Amino acid sequence: MIYANYVFLGVSVLAWVWLAIVIISLVLEFLTSEVVSIWFAVGSFVSLILAICNVNEAVQVIIFVAVSLLFLVSARPFIKKWTKRNEIKTNVDSLIGRIAIVTEDIIDGNRGVVKLDSQEWSAISSDNLTKGTKVVVLSIEGNKLIVKENKANEDSNIVYE
């Protein structure tokens, strides 16, 4: 390839290119609030090691692409889960997992009403729920709560999944 015979400070020029990609990827990663370029930092670091060992340039590029994609595919689900864990629930999302009380019966999947923190909400459930039943909020669809009977029958904020 084009860089095969070029050496700078005793190291292949392509090794310096890989080092630059590692540094740029890490700087971009630190400057953004999302995980966007760590994949390329890992792939280019592996290729940097290959360049120092004088491995063919084509192999270095193939390994860079393969390692970057492999790391992206394998690590992204874990990183997304970790970043979701640090998410602070606000507004309506904070209602999920909370305990409410049925104030109007919820029968056969039809809407009923539940009371949560002195506010009344439309609610639906796959269960038949009568007035006075304690329920847990599973999710929110539009302006209605999706609820399920609170089998633990506690006042704590238990989340059923």
Tens of pLDDT, residue by residue over 141-153, are: 888 888 888 887 5
Last residue of a domain, one of 85, 116, 135: 85
Residue 161 lies in a domain: no
Does residue 161 have a pLDDT over 80? no
Q: How much is the pLDDT for 129?
A: 86
Residue 158 lies in a domain: no
- Mean residue pLDDT of the chain comes to 80
**3-state secondary structure string across 70-126:** HHHHHHHHHHHHHHHHCCCCCHHHHHCCCEEEEEECECCCCCEEEEECCEEEEEECC
Count of domains forming the chain: 2
Q: How much is the pLDDT for 146?
A: 87
Assign residue 133 the CATH number of its domain.
2.40.50.140
Last residue of a domain, one of 85, 115, 133: 85
Say how far apart CA 11 and CA 141 lie, in whole Å.
60
Q: Which domain holds residue 134?
A: 91-149
Residues 96 and 122 in one domain: yes
What pTM value is reported for the model? 0.47
Does residue 43 have a pLDDT over 60? yes
Q: How much is the pLDDT for 130?
A: 87
Residue 159 lies in a domain: no
Residues 80 and 105 in one domain: no
The DSSP 8-state label assigned to residue 4 in this structure reads T
Q: Which is nearest to 41 in space by CA: 24, 54, 53?
A: 24
